[in-house]
Structure 1
Amino acid sequence: MKRPALALGLALLLGLGLSACQEETTAAKPAPVAMTLAATGYYCQMTALDHDGPKAQIHLKGNPHPLWFTQVRDAVAFTLSPEEPKDYVAVYVSDMGKAESWENPGEANWIDAETAWFVIGSRKTGGMGAPEVIPFGSENGAEGFVAEQGGNIVRLSEIPEAYVLGSVVSKDQSGSEAMTMVEASQ
C-alpha cells in the first residue's frame, strides 16, 4: 500500500516541478508593450512615434520597461554588438504587413523577431535615414513589399552583421554622397 502512495506522491512532485519549469519559461518572455509618446529611442533619445517606418522593442531580463528603437536595424545591431548586454528575453518588431502605412507603422502590431520575415536592401530607409530591416509577419507580406520596393527576404539569423553595424552612404542636402556612421555602430 505504501509503494503506490509513494509512487503517486513522487509523480505529483515531479509533475509540479515540470509545471513550475514550464511556467517559468513562459513567464520569462514578456508580452510586447504598446508604443506611446513616452517611447524614446535607445540610441537617439528621440520619440519613436516621431519617425517613419518600423520600430522595435527589446525586453531585458528583470527590467519591466522595454528598450525602444526608432529603426529595426538598430535593434538588430543591439543584439549583435559586443558592447551591448546579452540578457534580453524578447525582441519584438512592427509587423509592416499590418501597418496602416510607412508613416504610421502602428503602436500595437508587434511580432516576435524570431518568427518574422525581414526585407533588407530595399529602396526604403528607416526613421533615422539609414537602410532599414523591414519586418513582416508573413513571407507573402514580405514578397509583396519586395515586388514594390526591391530587396531580399531573410530571417533574423540571416541578416548580415555588416548591414546593421556598418557605415552608410547617404546624400546630403546638396546631393553629394557622404559616408556616415549609423547611430547603433557609434
Structure 2
Amino acid sequence: MTRLALSLALAIALAGCKEETAGLPSPVEMTDEALGHYCQMFVADHPGPKAQIHLKGYDAPLWFSQITDAVAYVSDAERDGEIAAIYLSDMGRTESWAIPGTGNWLEAGTAHLVIESSRLGGMGLPEAIPFGEEDAARAFAAENGGRIVAFSEIPAAYAHPDMDTMTASGMHAGVQ
C-alpha cells in the first residue's frame, strides 16, 4: 500500500511539473509574413537579430525587428499583456548577419548579449546581440567591440535611445 501511495504522490508531482512547463509557450519559427510590433514592417526584411514575445492568453507572438525593440516593449508599463516568454535569435547559430535564421531561438534569460558594439541592428539603431554560448559572445565582442550582459542588464538607453545624439553621430538610418 505504501508503494501505491508513493507512486501516486510521484505521479501527482510529475503532473504538476508537466503543467508548469506546458504553460511556457515554445518559440515559433519566423515566417516571411511576420510583422514587427512597432514598425509593422516585415521582420525578415531587416538584418540582425530578432525577438518574439509571447503574451499570456494570446496564441501568436509579437515580433520585433531588433532586440532593443523587445527591450522597449518589456520596459513599457502600458504594454498589451502579461509576458509569458521572450525568445531571441541566437546569432551564434546563424548563417550570417543578413540572414539571422528563422528557428534558432533561445530564451532571453539564458542569452549572453553583446552591447556597445560597432554593429547596428536591423533598424539602424544600437543593438544588443544575443548568443546562446558565452564563447561566441566573447568572440563577437573581440571582433566588434562591446561588452557582455544579461537581458535584464540591457541599459534603458537601448530601449529609449536619444535620437538627437544618434543623428548627430551618424548612428541612424543604417549608417554602420
| TM-score of the two chains, using structure 2 as the length reference | 0.88
**Deviation, structure 1 residue 64:** 1.6
Equivalent residue in structure 2 for 1:133, among 122, 128, 132: 128
Q: Aligned residues: percent identity? A: 49
Q: 1:57 to 1:148 in 2, by over 3 A?
A: same
Equivalent residue in structure 1 for 2:52, among 43, 53, 57: 57
**Deviation, structure 1 residue 91:** 0.7
Q: Which amino acid aligns with 1:89?
A: A
CA distance in 2, matches of 1:178, 1:128: 13
Residue 32 (1) aligns with residue 27 (2): yes
Q: Is the 8 A contact 2:125 2:171 kept in 1?
A: no
Equivalent residue in structure 1 for 2:156, among 150, 155, 161: 161
**Deviation, structure 1 residue 62:** 2.1
1:1-186 to 2 correspondence within 5 Å?
5=1, 10-85=5-80, 87-168=82-163, 169-171=165-167, 176-177=168-169
Q: 1:179 to 1:143 in 2, by over 3 A?
A: closer
Q: Is the 8 A contact 2:90 2:132 kept in 1?
A: yes
The 3-state SS of whatever aligns with 1:97 is: helix
- Could you list the per-position Cα deviations for residues 127-174 of structure 1 after superposition, in whole angstroms to 9, with x for gaps in the alignment? 111100100011111111111111111111211223322323333xxx
- Could you list the per-position Cα deviations for residues 33-72 of structure 1 after superposition, in whole angstroms to 9, with x for gaps in the alignment? 1111111000100000000110000111121211100001
CA distance in 1, matches of 2:54, 2:153: 22
CA distance in 1, matches of 2:73, 2:133: 24
CA RMSD of aligned residues (A): 2.1
| TM-score of the two chains, using structure 1 as the length reference | 0.83
Q: Is the 8 A contact 1:58 1:90 kept in 2?
A: yes
CA distance in 1, matches of 2:54, 2:65: 15
CA distance in 2, matches of 1:179, 1:82: 27
CA distance in 2, matches of 1:164, 1:151: 17
CA distance in 2, matches of 1:21, 1:61: 19
Q: Is the 8 A contact 1:58 1:67 kept in 2?
A: yes
Q: Which runs of 5+ in 2 are unaligned?
A: none
CA distance in 2, matches of 1:129, 1:96: 17
Q: Is the 8 A contact 2:71 2:158 kept in 1?
A: no
CA distance in 2, matches of 1:10, 1:162: 56
Q: Is the 8 A contact 1:79 1:86 kept in 2?
A: no
